[in-house]
Amino acid sequence: MLPRNMPDFTSPSEIARETLRRLAAKRVAPTPDQYRAYYHEIAGTQAEEAFPTQAFKGIAHALPRSTPESLRLAQQFEHAAASGSWPMMRRAILALSAAEHEQNEQMLARLLHPALTALLADTPELATEARQLAQECEAPTPSDPEALARRLESFIRKLEWAGEDQHAVRESLLALLRLILQNISDLVIDDRWLHGQLSVLSEAFAGPLDIRVLDEVQRRLLDVIDKQSHLKRQLSDAQERLKSMLAGFVDRLASFGNVTGDYARVLEGGADRIAAATDMSELSDVIGEILTETRNAQSAAERSTEEIATLRAEVDSANQHILRLQRELDEASELVRHDPLTGTLNRKGLDEALEREIAMARRRGTLLCVGLLDVDNFKQLNDTYGHKTGDDALKHLSTVVRESLRPQDSVCRYGGEEFLILLPEADLSEASAILTRLQRELTRRIFMADSSRLLITFSAGVALLDPQEPAHIAIERADRAMYAAKRAGKNRVLTAA
């Protein structure tokens, strides 16, 4: 007699027939799951887990296929899912795992070199260690993984220390620079030529350093220095001409003094001769000589008066020229790349900001959007409240824009009541959302015209700038979208196709 734990049926056909008989006897529906359970119960075996084909196919569909290698791995996984074979699926999963590990090692190597080595130019020993670690990560047969992990951990600690040191050095240098700027400002109270440059530097170093800020400071200072050098040369020439005229004036006064001195000596000598005269003929000669010298002195005095008047007019003209140059020099010290009314960038500043942002987008592979906005009903506001109120409204708008935009954004007065905004690192939807938030902020911050509360709104168009296309093409697309927003009812933002 067989043991109780041994099955009564040994051949697959006998087990199958008995399975169907028991399902019928117990009136159990012969579903695949019920059949499998009774079959293994009769055979005394363990049922294998069902193969989740649909779930695996869903995973296969979601796998990346952007590179030839990822496409190959996705197709391998997809084939294993369709086969229903656990061994094939095991191989496919292991292949994915190995590829993921290799990709992580490659990314770590790229992070170490060239990314980190470029940032460690001031610490060559750390840059060398980063290159060595990158080479080990990329090696076909890496060294002891645990030893490599320990080296990476040690390197990370060194990076933390170096970062703290560099941060401390940077903060100390900035503090020192701010102190120098403050001291120079105190020393040059009467030198307005330097105040423009110092204000630009002080403004730039007041907050966190940024490549955009530093680039803008450099461009503005170069322009200011060039303009000031030109005007200073003109001012120096004008001052030299004024000195020359004053020297001539003094010389003329001296020559007139010589004439009057000679005349005084003639009069004094005539008086002596009159006192010693013995007859009228001697008096006649003396009087004739005095009359001649009197006419000569009178003629010299008239000439001197005319020349002095001419010199005075020239001096006045030179002084006016110097004052005009001084005013131009003072103006040159202001923000020469900014609109004088609103403080936003002018066209020159926009061209340079566009050049910088396009180059940065190409270098980093990031997006760049442009937004063109136009104040709604601005002519009506001007006609109703006057041009001064219109100017104040533009200043109010530009203030709200500058305070509401992100630090990396730039705003330019494009013309009249139009403003162009550069929105780096933003796609069309993000750029549109930024301008929409700006519209909401304008509705919150009411503009006051005398005692009237006015709501300033704008219509805007947004375009994504292709780094390979000329900037004016994207601006034209944003302009068309802006006019479409005007026609659609104003106070809205539309994106360009």
As annotated, the active-site residues are 417
Long-range contact pairs involving 259-267 (C-beta distance under 8 Å, separation at least 24): 259/296, 259/297, 259/300, 259/301, 259/304, 260/297, 260/301, 262/293, 263/293, 263/294, 263/296, 263/297, 266/290, 266/293, 267/293
- State both tokens at 28: 């159990």
Q: Which residues pair with 423 in a beta bridge?
A: 369
Spatial contact of 371 and 478, defined as CB atoms under 8 Å apart: yes
Q: How far is CA 370 from the centre of its chain?
A: 13
Residues whose CB is less than 8 angstroms from the CB of residue 134 and which lie 6 or more positions away in sequence, other chains included:
108, 109, 110, 112, 113
Cis geometry, peptide bond prior to residue 7 (ω within 30 degrees of 0)? no
d(CA 264, CA 278): 24
What are 373's strand-pairing partners?
419, 460
C-alpha 361/C-alpha 443 separation (Å) is: 33
What is the crossing angle of helices 145-187 and 124-138, to 10°? Answer: 150
